[in-house]
Amino acid sequence: MRHVFTAGLSALLLASALPASAQTAPIGGKYKIALILGTTTDNFYTSMQCGAVEAARKLGDVELTVQGAPRWDATLQTPVVNAVTASGVQAIAIAVNDGRALYAPLKAASDKGIKILGVDTRLADSSFVVTNISSDNRALGAEAARTLAKLMGEKGTALIPPITPGITTVADRIQGFIDEMKAKHKNIKIVYKGISEDASAFSAAFAANPDITGMFLIANNEALVAAGAIRQLPAERRDKISVVSFDAAPALVDALKANQIQAIVAQKPAQMGALAVQMARKALMGQPVAKSIPTGGVGLTASNIGLPAYSQYVYKSTCK
C-alpha cells in the first residue's frame, strides 16, 4: 500500500535553566567527559557517538571517552558505569538501560563530584542529574498515531508493543500513541503483541488478530523483525497492513524504500550526542544548563527519503 505521510512532529519548550554551579577546572587543559551508550551495536547510538565525537573535536578542550555494552542489559551497563567512574572522568552522559537499576551507581558517581547527564533515556529519579537530553517521546508517539490512523483510513485494528518497565523513553512513546488513538481515532482498535522480541510474538499476534491493518513499532530491531514476519503472511493480508516505526537505521530505511513499512519517525541521536558534550562542558565550567533539552524528530517516507533535508537523519553505521 502506498500512502502520503505529512510530518508535523511537535516542538517543545525547554525547561527553566538550572542556576550556575561551581566551576570544575579542566585536567591538563581538557575537560574529561564520558559518553556511555545504550548499546554499542545499534545505529542509533553509533550516530550519537558520531555527534559527540564531532562536538568534542570542535570544542578542542574536551577529552571524550565513549563506552558501552554490546546489548541492552542493565547488568552489563552497571560495571561500565563503575569502571568509567573510577577512571577519573569529570562528567558522564549516559543512555541508561534501566531507569531504576542504574540509579545507585550513577548516584555514587554524582556523590564523588562527577556531573551526570541523561541522554536519550533517563533515570526514574533525576534529581541529581544536570540535564536530560532526549526526544519528547510522548509527542512523537502521538504523531506516529496520527500518521498511522491516516494510513489505516481511520478504522481497523492496530498492533502495538506492550509497555514494559524500566525504559522510560519507550514507555512514553507507546503511551503517547495510545492516548492519541483513544482520544481522536476511536474507530481504531488497539491490540498488543507479546513481550518476546523475536518473530514468534508477531506471528502469534497475526494468528490471534486476523483483522490487523496497522502496526506501530518502537525501535530499529523490532521493526526489522516485524517486517520479516509480515513478509511471511499471504499477500492479501500483507498488502493491507500499514506500518509506522521509530528510528532510521539504514536497514529500516531500505525497508521503507521497498514499501515494507510506510513511515519512520527519525530521532536526532547525533544532535543528542553533540548536546551531551556541550552541556557537560558548560556544567563543568559552572554555567547554567536547562534541566530538560528536547531534540525533536523528523518524519521519513518513501517520497521524501531521497531529499538531503530528510536523508541527513538516516542513522550512521560508522563515524567518518
Among the candidates 218, 233, 266, a domain finishes at 266
Contact 293, 131 (CB under 8 A): yes
What does the pLDDT average to over 87-113? 97
Identify whether residues 90 and 189 lie together within a single domain. Answer: no
Rg of the chain over CA atoms, in angstroms?
A: 20
Identify whether residues 231 and 146 lie together within a single domain. Answer: yes
Identify whether residues 238 and 185 lie together within a single domain. Answer: yes
pLDDT tens string 47-59: 999 999 999 999 9
pLDDT tens string 261-270: 999 999 999 9
Regarding predicted confidence, which is higher, 231 or 117? 117
Domain that holds residue 155: 137-266
Identify whether residues 234 and 210 lie together within a single domain. Answer: yes
Identify whether residues 169 and 49 lie together within a single domain. Answer: no
Handedness of CA 301, 302, 303, 305 (dihedral sign): positive
Would you say residue 11 lies in a domain? no
Would you say residue 320 lies in a domain? no
Identify whether residues 99 and 143 lie together within a single domain. Answer: no
- With cell 523513553, the residue in question is 169
Would you say residue 58 lies in a domain? yes
Question: Coil, strand, or helix at residue 279?
Answer: helix
Which domain CATH number covers 214? 3.40.50.2300
DSSP 199-227: HHHHHHHHHH-TTEEEEEE-SHHHHHHHH
Q: Which residues lie closer than 8 Å to 302 by C-beta, 6 or more apart?
A: 2, 256, 257, 259, 262
Would you say residue 10 lies in a domain? no
Would you say residue 22 lies in a domain? no
Instruction: Report the alpha-carbon distance of residue 222 to residue 162 in Å, rounded.
Output: 12
pLDDT for the residue 167 = 77
Identify whether residues 273 and 258 lie together within a single domain. Answer: no
Total domains, the chain: 2
pLDDT tens string 245-256: 999 999 999 999
Would you say residue 123 lies in a domain? yes
pLDDT tens string 296-317: 899 999 999 999 999 999 999 9
pLDDT for the residue 178 = 97
Identify whether residues 111 and 175 lie together within a single domain. Answer: no
Identify whether residues 62 and 157 lie together within a single domain. Answer: no
Instruction: Kindly state the greatest CA–CA separation across the chain.
Output: 66
